[in-house]
Amino acid sequence: MVQERGPDTVDINVNMGPQHPSTHGVFRMVLTIDGERVIDVEPHIGYMHRGAEKLSENMDYRAAIGYQDRTDYLAQFLTEQAYCMAVEKLLELEVPERSEYIRVILCELNRVTSHLMFLGAFGIDLGYFGTSFTYGFRERERLQDIFEEVTGERMMYGYFRPGGLAWDVPDNFVQMIRDVLPHTRQGLKDLDMLMTQNEIVAARTKGIGAMNLEDSINWGLSGPMLRAAGSDWDLRKDKPYSIYDRFDYDIPVGSHGDVFDRYLVRLEEAYQSLRIVEQALDQLPDGPIMPEKMPRRLRGPDAEVYAAVEGPRGEYGIYIVSKGGDKAYRLKIRAPSFCNLAALRDMTVGNYVADAVAILGSIDIVLCDVDR
Amino acid sequence: MIGIFKSMYITFATMLRKPVTIEYPAKHRDVPQRDRAFPILLWDKDVDEPFCTGCHACERACPVECMTVTMKDNPLHADGKSDRRKIVDEFWIDYGRCMRCNICVEVCNFEAIAMNNTWAGHELSTFDRNDLVLDLQQLLAQHKQGKIDEWVAE
């Protein structure tokens, strides 16, 4: 007897996370699957919520710097930069030249460490096991040593201050970085050779999770996610802050907006960051690191300010409402990971379960940044 | 196929490189001079008393409220041996709470507190979390014994 219809199938819910190695932290998604195809995704966030915004409202402008580090913990210097820029705007402080240069150097190196981390973890998501991860970490560690030499900490630097820097860099700062840069370039080349032309990687990433430019803009994506879709929006070029208008560098742009393009954009961005670092090292001036007329206690006027930096994950912004006094009345963090994660459902539905992992990896989320 | 051979080439080339890791519990790498572990108090060897006067500056500035300080009249000042009229009586720091932000060192007017920049400041695992609350004598011990070459930013 010929069966007129196939066997009855039921869609099943598969719970992924919160303790799952490929969710990059404590992130839970409930996948509804039909066979191997994902037909619905329900993301659950909030497992890492610590109330970083509220905590920052309860302490003065200097003490709150430590809490900004703990939001995006792979790009700590950039979070500090955004926060300090917001406070400087509020208090109308002028940052000395030398401090600006040191900030740019550290921020760009931090972008490279963040992207090395992404390249490593992305390899794991695609099934490279530990190879790409150890390559990424090996080079990241050299840069991390520089940060430790300068600030004393390995992760939560707390080094930038509203107005400048906490203390000056060591005397061998420039030489130290110049020694490390060839290693970092080589490390990026290793990862490039390991993954870019590999046919297995191509099969896993090309055309997966593609999002066109219009949808990307509508979802409010920023950073490499948006640039992979074809826009060249970069705050460093389009709304120049700090001293980024003095350097010569390119903004890599993708065309398909798929997982592979996001990987390529990040890889190229790391190279461009190294270019900025080299130029900044050549131009690094001498001078003070804090403005001369620095108030002993930072007191803001009645005002609202917003300052944003181009983080490795996208636009990282800080919005401060001040009602006088030495604390922020309201502090809001515009977290790029959170905004980029919003598009997860649109990208994942219709793909295989294994691709869901690759797509999530390509967003490059930091869960502390998502939940704050 | 070429891509896969390239990947294999990199993998095998890495196999021949020198290891970049060291076997940690057996060997310790050097920590930089600016290394920030946890705050400790400094000992004035000339007068034989702590630098700290118990002025509460660090306690007020601490973002996580991990410190408790009390102050007393300095007995050595009455004898004429010390310039400090007031001196620290009790000092507790909860290392379990401390977030190592260096702000206490920055606000100190007497350079009485510094960040521990040795390995002893990092390897602090205990079975009971109450053991991480250090009192005055424990905080002073390392500098008193001359084990710390402290670094304080100007």
Mean pLDDT for A304-316 is 91
The answer on pLDDT for A367 being more than 70 is yes
Q: Looking at the 3D structure of chain B, how many domains does it have?
A: 1
**Which 8-state DSSP code applies to residue A350?**
T
Kindly give, in sequence order, each residue whose CB lies less than 8 Å from that of residue A50, ignoring residues fewer than 6 positions away.
A70, A368, A371, A372
For residue B63, the domain's CATH number is: 3.30.70.3270
For residue A294, the domain's CATH number is: 1.10.645.10
- pLDDT of amino acid B72: 86
Q: Is A15 domain-assigned?
A: no
Give the side-chain half-sphere CA count within 13 A for B70: 6
Q: What is the rounded CA–CA span in Å between residue A230 and residue A254? A: 5
Give the side-chain half-sphere CA count within 13 A for A119: 32
Test A63 with B63 for CB contact under 8 angstroms.
yes
Chain A residues with at least one Cβ partner in B under 8 Å: 59, 62-67, 131, 135, 138, 141, 148-153, 156, 158, 166-168, 170, 190, 193-202
Q: List strands edge to edge, sheet with A12-16.
A: A12-16, A28-34, A37-44
Q: Is B101 domain-assigned?
A: yes
Q: Give pLDDT tens digits for A334-348.
A: 989 998 888 888 888
Q: What is the largest CA-CA distance in chain B?
A: 86
| Mean confidence (pLDDT) of chain A | 88
- pLDDT of amino acid A106: 92
Kindly give, in sequence order, each residue whose CB lies less than 8 Å from that of residue B1, ignoring residues fewer than 6 positions away.
A199
For residue A124 the two structure tokens come to 């794991």
Mean pLDDT for A185-203 is 87
Percentage of chain A beyond pLDDT 70 is: 99
> Structural domain of residue A351, as residue ranges?
52-371
Strand partners, A310: A315
Q: Is B89 domain-assigned?
A: yes
Which value, in Å, is the radius of gyration of the alpha carbons in chain B?
Answer: 22
Q: Give pLDDT tens digits for B6-38.
A: 888 888 888 888 888 889 889 988 888 888 888
The answer on pLDDT for B153 being more than 70 is yes
Q: Is B65 domain-assigned?
A: yes
Q: What is the rounded CA–CA span in Å between residue A38 and residue A31? A: 6
Q: What is the rounded CA–CA span in Å between residue A372 and residue A64? A: 14
Q: Is B1 domain-assigned?
A: no
- pLDDT of amino acid A1: 53
One-character DSSP codes across A87-156: HHHHHTPPPPHHHHHHHHHHHHHHHHHHHHHHHHHHHHHHT-TTHHHHHHHHHHHHHHHHHHHHHS-SS-
- pLDDT of amino acid A184: 92
- State how far residue B56 is from chain A, nearest Cα, in angstroms: 16
- pLDDT of amino acid A293: 81
Report residue A3's pLDDT band, with 50, 70 and 90 as the boundaries: low
Mean pLDDT for B119-127 is 88
Chain B residues with at least one Cβ partner in A under 8 Å: 1-4, 6-7, 9-11, 14, 20, 32, 34-36, 61-63, 99-103, 106, 115, 117, 153-154
Q: What is the rounded CA–CA span in Å between residue B83 and residue B74? A: 9
Give the side-chain half-sphere CA count within 13 A for A333: 34
Report residue A78's pLDDT band, with 50, 70 and 90 as the boundaries: very high
Inter-residue contact B50 to B136 (CB < 8 Å): yes
The answer on pLDDT for B109 being more than 80 is yes
**Which 8-state DSSP code applies to residue B115?**
E
Q: Is B12 domain-assigned?
A: no
Looking at per-residue pLDDT, the higher value among B148 and B100 belongs to B100
Report residue A351's pLDDT band, with 50, 70 and 90 as the boundaries: confident
Q: What is the rounded CA–CA span in Å between residue B150 and residue B144? A: 12
Report residue A305's pLDDT band, with 50, 70 and 90 as the boundaries: very high
Inter-residue contact A328 to A61 (CB < 8 Å): yes
The answer on pLDDT for A163 being more than 90 is no
Residue A107 phi, psi dihedral angles, 5° rounding: -65, -45
Residue type, B114: A
Q: Is A351 domain-assigned?
A: yes
- pLDDT of amino acid B154: 66
- State how far residue B31 is from chain A, nearest Cα, in angstroms: 9
Inter-residue contact A271 to A188 (CB < 8 Å): yes
Strand partners, A42: A30
Percentage of chain B beyond pLDDT 70 is: 99
- pLDDT of amino acid A154: 87
**Which 8-state DSSP code applies to residue A297?**
S
Q: Give pLDDT tens digits for A278-294.
A: 999 999 898 888 888 87
Whether the link from the prior residue into B32 is cis, omega within 30° of 0, is no
| Mean confidence (pLDDT) of chain B | 86
Q: Is A66 domain-assigned?
A: yes
For residue A356 the two structure tokens come to 């869901």
Q: Is B6 domain-assigned?
A: no
Q: Is B11 domain-assigned?
A: no
Give the closest residue to A155 by CA, choosing from B75, B74, B36: B36
B74 alpha carbon, distance to own chain's centre: 26
- State how far residue A354 is from chain B, nearest Cα, in angstroms: 21
For residue B54 the two structure tokens come to 């118990």
Residue B26 burial (10 A CB sphere; 0-12, 13-18, 19+): exposed
ipTM of the complex: 0.85
Q: Within 10 A of A330 (CB to CB), how many other CB atoms are there?
A: 14
Q: Looking at the 3D structure of chain A, how many domains does it have?
A: 1
> Structural domain of residue B44, as residue ranges?
30-144
The answer on pLDDT for A7 being more than 80 is no
Instruction: Give the nearest partner residue to B4 out of A67, A151, A199, using CB atoms.
Output: A199
The answer on pLDDT for A126 being more than 90 is no
The answer on pLDDT for B88 being more than 90 is no
Q: Give pLDDT tens digits for B35-69.
A: 888 899 888 888 888 888 888 888 888 888 899 99
- pLDDT of amino acid A112: 93
Q: Is B45 domain-assigned?
A: yes
- State how far residue A195 is from chain B, nearest Cα, in angstroms: 7
Within 8 A of B35 by CB-CB distance, chain A residues are 148, 152
Q: Is A8 domain-assigned?
A: no
Test A152 with B101 for CB contact under 8 angstroms.
no
